Amino acid sequence: MSSIMIETKELIKSFKNGEQVTTILKGIDLQIKKGEFVAIMGRSGAGKSTLMYQVSLLDKPTSGEIFIDGQNVNRLTTDEQTKFRLKKLGYVFQDYALLPDLTAKENVAVPLIMQGMSTEKAYKISIEALERVGLAHRTDSIPARLSGGEQQRVSVARAIAHAPTILFADEPTANLDSESSARVMEIFKELHKQGQTLVMVTHEAEYGRLADRIIQLQDGQITKEKEIVRD
Amino acid sequence: MNKTVLKVGFFLAFRQIKRANIWTTGLIIIVMALTFLNLVVVNGVLVGLIQGAIEANRAHYIGEVLVTSLKQKTYIENSQTIFDIAKSLKGVDAVTGRYIGSAKVNADYRRKLRDDEVPNAAGTTLVGIDPIAEDEVTGLSKFMIEGTYLDGNDTEGIMIGANLLYRFTPIDSSAFQSLRGIYVGDKLKITVGKNAKEVVVRGIIKSKVDENDFRVFMTASEARKLLGRTDNNLNEVSIRMIPGASESDVIAVKQIFLNNGLDEGANIQTYDEALPKFVKDMKSMFALLGNLIGSIGLAVASITIFIVIFVNTLTRRKFIGILKGIGIDSKAIEFSYILQSIFYALAGAIVGFVILYGFLKPFVDAHPINFPFSDGRIYAPLSGTFIRAAVLLFTTLIAGYIPARMIVNKNTLDSILGR
């Protein structure tokens, strides 16, 4: 198996607005290694979230190729991409993206049940995942009864419960206070230590520095890549 | 759809319903229940109008089997044999025979009329009955709106149908004659051919069955004299079966007469066959009308559930996007909305059933709607109601599926980002 987990070749994403075409990503070539923690940074409008959406199969690029774990995922049908996301990818969104009618435990369990697990087993795993993010006491709470930080941790629990190949996080701390942000980042660090491949979009340099590598985007192009050296 | 898709669909639907706003859910169910009632009750009242007339005809005139004379004959041949067989049959509760002839009733027979004066008179059908036997079969005594029921020994008295009296049927038409100013105790002259008799009005009948309400009743012995009948041949025999008799029991009774060859001299019909054709036609017509109105109700129900599910899915578009984003199969999401539609339709139908059979129908049965020609009831046999519930369910299912599919098919990222 290749040590490259994600690879993009000449990735372009354009949006059409009537006759006007706006290109957000202008031919991105990117490689992310297995077990690597990468932070994608850049100013607002640089294209960092758009890049993450393409790589994480939430959107389709205008052109270019994306390989995940050696597989050309562009060629997958919509249904196959959905299955791929279910089995191999995990997501943490800026606004938590929890389902309001489901409890924390149920939110985490849904993708597991979709994978064919029994409800009991899915609940067991989701409780374990919630314990990992320090929410063992809030398993039966619906999102509306949780704080922003707690909701984001539920979101992390949902993203990691099925042991994804890659965990994507889009501005995971943007809506959180510093204490909650630090807690979420601690979880990411812990996951990374355990060998989880992590791709995080952030505009906060403080958290970007926790990654192995920072990819700087500007006007839809990678302008700088910086390896973080730790003592 | 595989088992996992169904399971996840059910998982999502159950929790969405469980944690939905109770008032919103209640309102949707009420709308569905009212739609269901609209579907069943409008049709039921329309058909019930005619069904009321049919039931009244059966209960207060025809009985379960009606024997009448053949068209080319003036009376039923072997009347007494038919009458005696009928009385001896197992399952027969009561039998009544009637002597019938055309007659004229006149209220102005004691004064000389001017040349240009129209007499206060009307044409009618004179019926000779055994009052006790007639009452056992048709329960006519219950319909005396004025006066008393005829006594078996009364040689002077008559009962007159309310439709022959202007004050109950105020129709001003030269084609329709009725008697003006006639009350219980008044004297009338009945003429049949060359025979005439002065009689006293003992009672007035209003049964909402034309065969009763346009007729004049007197005892059989007096009627026979007026009709000039020296034999005992009857014109009508009505046979009442014991309560709860099935249609096959009724047909079996008719078959006995046929097996004895009695249909050669009489027309033997079950209640269904004996119904006037216009009543049957009206029943089909009203059923058609009811179905037409019901179809509009169904369309309203479909649009209602479409809007409900559409608004529901639209407001949840972001969450549908999230579900798709985290890898939930689109079919599972669609199925969850279909299940919600089914829940609303089922709950609405159940509430509708309870209202209909627990309150509305028993109430209208106890207090029928007073139509001029029948006591209107809600005609809603369970089988028909179940069919309508199934139609509503199916329509709702489609109406729920379409908006769910529309929203689920939107771009995942656009849904998540609310674009």
**What digits encode the pLDDT tens for the residues A122-160?**
999 999 999 988 888 999 999 999 999 899 899 999 998
Neighbours of B184 (CB within 10 A): 16
Q: Does pLDDT of B8 surpass 90?
A: yes
Q: What share of chain B is helix, strand, coil (3-state, %, to 5)?
A: 55, 20, 25
Q: How many residues does chain A have?
A: 231
Nearest to A97 among B4, B12, B322 (CB): B322
What residue type is assigned to position A198 of the chain? L
Q: What is the pLDDT of residue B361?
A: 92
Find all residues with CB under 8 Å of A86, minimum gap 6, and list them: A111, A114, A115, A162, B326, B327, B328
CB contact under 8 A, B319 and A99: yes
3-state secondary structure of A30: strand
Average pLDDT over residues A78-101: 91
Q: What is the pLDDT of residue A1?
A: 43
Find all residues with CB under 8 Å of B191, minimum gap 6, and list them: B103, B104, B106
| Cα–Cα distance for residue pair B272/B265, rounded to 1 Å | 21
Q: What is the pLDDT of residue B88?
A: 92
| Residue whose tokens read 């192009």 | A221
Q: Does pLDDT of B345 surpass 50?
A: yes
Which among B147, B141, B115 is positioned nearest to B129, based on CA atoms? B141
Neighbours of A29 (CB within 10 A): 12
Q: Which residues of B touch A158 (CB under 8 A)?
A: 326
Q: Which residues of B touch A53 (CB under 8 A)?
A: 413
| Cα–Cα distance for residue pair B378/B183, rounded to 1 Å | 35
pLDDT band for B66, please (50, 70, 90 cuts).
very high
Average pLDDT over residues B298-309: 77
| Cα–Cα distance for residue pair B118/B107, rounded to 1 Å | 11
| Residue whose tokens read 């049957």 | B280
Q: What is the pLDDT of residue B108?
A: 85
Nearest to B16 among A89, A97, A101 (CB): A101
Chain B residues within 8 Å of chain A (Cβ atoms) = 4, 7-8, 11-12, 15-16, 18-20, 318-319, 322-330, 332, 411-413, 416
| Cα–Cα distance for residue pair A175/A31, rounded to 1 Å | 29
| Residue whose tokens read 């299955």 | A83
Instruction: Give the residue from chain A lying closest to B331, CA to CA.
Output: A79
Q: Which residues of A touch B4 (CB under 8 A)?
A: 113-116
Q: Does pLDDT of A2 surpass 60?
A: no
Q: What is the pLDDT of residue B97?
A: 94
What are A93's two structure tokens? Answer: 């969104």
Residue B194 has, within 13 A of its CA and on its CB side, a CA count of: 1
Between residues B115 and B165, the one the model is more confident about: B165
Instruction: Give the residue from chain B lying closest to A168, CA to CA.
Output: B326
Q: Does pLDDT of B77 surpass 70?
A: yes
| Cα–Cα distance for residue pair A196/A36, rounded to 1 Å | 7
As a whole-number percent, the residues of chain A with pLDDT over 70 amount to 99
CB contact under 8 A, B326 and A158: yes
| Cα-based distances in Å from A154 to A39, A159, B278, B385 | 21, 9, 72, 48
Burial B289-308 (b: 16+ CB within 10 A, else e): ebbebbeebbeebbebbbeb
Tell me the nearest-neighbour CA distance from A90 into chain B, angstroms.
Answer: 7
DSSP line for B165-187: BTTTS---BTTB--BSS--TT-E
pLDDT band for A44, please (50, 70, 90 cuts).
confident
CB contact under 8 A, B327 and A85: yes
CB contact under 8 A, A99 and B332: no
3-state secondary structure of A12: strand
Average pLDDT over residues B349-365: 93
Q: What is the pLDDT of residue B306?
A: 79
DSSP line for A195-229: T-EEEEE-S-HHHHTTSSEEEEEETTEEEEEEEPP
Q: What secondary structure letter does DSSP report for B265?
A: S
Find all residues with CB under 8 Å of A229, minimum gap 6, and list them: none
What are B8's two structure tokens? Answer: 């996840």
pLDDT band for B1, please (50, 70, 90 cuts).
low
Which among B194, B217, B379 is positioned nearest to B294, based on CA atoms? B379
Average pLDDT over residues B371-379: 81
What residue type is assigned to position B390 of the chain? A
Q: Which residues of B touch A113 (CB under 8 A)?
A: 4, 7-8, 11
The interface pTM score, or ipTM, of the predicted complex is 0.90
Long-range contacts of A48-54 (CB under 8 A, 24+ apart): A48/A201, A48/A203, A48/A217, A49/A170, A49/A171, A49/A201, A50/A13, A50/A24, A50/A25, A50/A220, A51/A11, A51/A13, A51/A25, A51/A201, A51/A217, A52/A168, A52/A170, A52/A199, A52/A201, A53/B413, A54/A8, A54/A11, A54/A13, A54/A25
Tell me the nearest-neighbour CA distance from A97 into chain B, angstroms.
Answer: 6
Which among B149, B157, B230 is positioned nearest to B198, based on CA atoms? B157
Q: In a 10 Å sphere around its CB, with 0-12 CB exposed, 13-18 middle and 19+ buried, how is residue B203 labelled? A: buried
Greatest distance between any 2 Cα atoms in chain B? 102
Average pLDDT over residues B346-365: 93
CB contact under 8 A, A119 and B11: yes
pLDDT band for A231, please (50, 70, 90 cuts).
low
| Cα–Cα distance for residue pair B368/B383, rounded to 1 Å | 22
Between residues A179 and B183, the one the model is more confident about: B183
The pTM of the full predicted model, rounded to 2 decimals, is 0.74
User: Which of A95, A98, A101, A167 should one mutate to test binding to chain B, selecting the residue with the greatest count of B CBs within 10 A?
Assistant: A101
The answer to whether the beta carbons of residues B209 and B144 sit under 8 Å apart is no
Nearest to A102 among B15, B329, B332 (CB): B15
DSSP bridge pairs for B99: B128
Tell me the nearest-neighbour CA distance from B329 into chain A, angstroms.
Answer: 7
**What digits encode the pLDDT tens for the residues A50-68?**
999 999 999 999 999 999 9
The answer to whether the beta carbons of residues A12 and A26 sit under 8 Å apart is yes
| Cα–Cα distance for residue pair A199/A214, rounded to 1 Å | 10
**What digits encode the pLDDT tens for the residues B98-150?**
999 999 999 888 878 787 777 889 999 999 999 999 999 999 999 999 999 99
Q: What is the pLDDT of residue B56?
A: 87
pLDDT band for A107, please (50, 70, 90 cuts).
very high
Tell me the nearest-neighbour CA distance from A108 into chain B, angstroms.
Answer: 10
Chain A residues within 8 Å of chain B (Cβ atoms) = 53, 58-59, 79, 82-87, 89, 91, 93, 97-102, 106, 110-111, 113-116, 119, 142, 158
Instruction: Give the residue from chain B lying closest to A50, CA to CA.
Output: B413
Nearest to B413 among A53, A89, A106 (CB): A53
Question: What is the pLDDT of chain B when averaged over all its residues?
Answer: 89
Q: Which range among A12-21, A171-180, B286-295 shows the weakest confidence by mean pLDDT?
A: B286-295
Give the helix/strand (H/E) hosting B46.
Answer: helix B22-57
